[in-house]
A and B are shown apart, each in its own frame.
Chain A
Amino acid sequence: MSEQYILLDHGSGGLASQQLISELFLKYLTSPLLASLEDSAVFTVSGNCLAMSTDSYVVDPLFFPGGDIGMLAVHGTINDLAMRGARPLYLSLAFILEEGLAINDLERVLQSIAKCSNEAGVPIVTGDTKVVPRGKADKIFINTSGIGLVPDERSISVSQARKGDKILLSGSMGDHGITIMTRRAGLSLEGELRSDTMALHGLVDHLCTTFPGAIHTLRDPTRGGVASTLCEIAEQAKAAITLDEESLPISASVRAGCEILGLDPLYLANEGKMLVICSPNQANDIVNAMQHHPQGHEAAIIGEIIDGPAGRVTLHTGLGGERLVTPLHGQPLPRIC
């Protein structure tokens, strides 16, 4: 490790996080299931194919337009399971609470968790709560883990992506990232920004059943955004990726917010979107099916996997130029100069 101490950048989902995981974690934790670095681990138990995943949630503020920390905790883990084609079955829920937290806030978070879990049809079946002295945590930290069942015929993973495959994005990008960033005191913007937090297992199940075998890879572009996630996919699939700038779905307000703060939506977090890598001959039908599904009505084909150096992602710009897309290295920073 080049750094002696943990920086915020290590939690950014970009290169700094990857470096921490590969240089420190994987040095000691050597299960091949972990080493594949997928959104969840898939393994067979007594003839059943299971998926397992865990994720922790820290967000300031706890409540924001479009959602709250509880929604993220339920949706995030459900989505991690769904990204391997699994049908989520059960969730665990663990809290670390800061002394002095308003019970009222905790109750609001719990109500939200209950609602999301009911709507998703994925019950919370075990849990834990710890309280730490004031200042030792920031209000509420949540961990959720989940298990799901992968139907027999499905095999969805980064290793399935192949040359010629099309890349689809299930909706507009950057909504969550910019919403959270503009809640910070010095960077506030008013207006129509909302987090996109949403459970995607319904859409995944619909696509996998309607187009058996055509869906090769699914990834949710959370921290690090679409750009960093695609760089990872290209690296792991040992192929290159090309994107078309004009087809990237971005809402007008996210675009405006990004212009003001000097941010690039390609690098902002999403909490209710997925990248779909699929057979080219069914891509149009798949994008069509997504657009007719409530969780994907802004879906678009944004690029494809091509021959080229492993990990190389390029973007065709509106004026006919081309540029390289590299992964985020630390947290996205607003710029002014």
Chain B
Amino acid sequence: MCLAVPMQVIEINGSEDDFLSQPTALVESDGIKKEVRLDIVDRWPNLGDYVIIHAGFAIHTLDPQEAKTNLRLLQEMAAVTHGDGETA
């Protein structure tokens, strides 16, 4: 029900606690840039962080460690070949 894509933060305007500023970031992926809002993001991102964008809002800042674990778990699951048990 909700398309959202990860993009990298390359510019940040405003700050987390300055309520009157416009909390926005410029995000980028494969040469495409978009200005997004940071009003609702769970963790204020740093430059270089990846955020998940939905309808012009960052909804989550990726933790690179979590993302790595995510990929590793998938790779491990994929590496399980027939015969070494337990999985099914």
| Residues on A facing B (Cβ under 8 Å) | 189-193, 252-253, 255-257, 259-260, 262, 335-337
Question: Contacting B34 at CB < 8 Å: which of A192, A252, A255, A260?
Answer: A260
Residue B1 interfacial (CB < 8 Å): yes
| Residues on B facing A (Cβ under 8 Å) | 1-3, 5, 7, 28-34, 53-55
Question: Contacting A252 at CB < 8 Å: which of B1, B31, B54?
Answer: B31
Dominant SS among interface residues on chain B:
strand
CB distance from A320 to the nearest CB of B (A): 13
A192 touches B3 (CB 8 A): no
A257 touches B55 (CB 8 A): no
Q: Indicate whether A255 sits within 8 Å of B3 (C-beta atoms), given known contacts A260-B53, A336-B54.
A: no
Dominant SS among interface residues on chain A:
mixed
26 residue pairs of the A-B complex, CB under 8 angstroms, read A189-B32, A189-B33, A189-B34, A190-B32, A190-B33, A191-B31, A191-B32, A191-B33, A192-B32, A252-B31, A253-B30, A253-B31, A256-B29, A256-B30, A256-B31, A259-B5, A260-B5, A260-B7, A260-B29, A260-B34, A260-B53, A262-B3, A335-B3, A336-B2, A336-B54, A337-B3
A337 to B2, CA, bound (A): 4
Which residues in B have their C-beta under 8 angstroms from that of A255? 30
Which residues in B have their C-beta under 8 angstroms from that of A337? 1-3
CB distance from A253 to the nearest CB of B (A): 4
A189 to B29, CA, bound (A): 11
A297 to B31, CA, bound (A): 21
A336 to B3, CA, bound (A): 5
The residue in A190, A262, A335 that gathers the most chain B C-beta atoms within 10 A of its C-beta is A190
A262 to B56, CA, bound (A): 13
A335 to B55, CA, bound (A): 10
A336 touches B34 (CB 8 A): no
A257 to B34, CA, bound (A): 10
A189 to B34, CA, bound (A): 6
The residue in B2, B33, B55 that gathers the most chain A C-beta atoms within 10 A of its C-beta is B33
Which residues in A have their C-beta under 8 angstroms from that of B3? 259, 262, 335-337
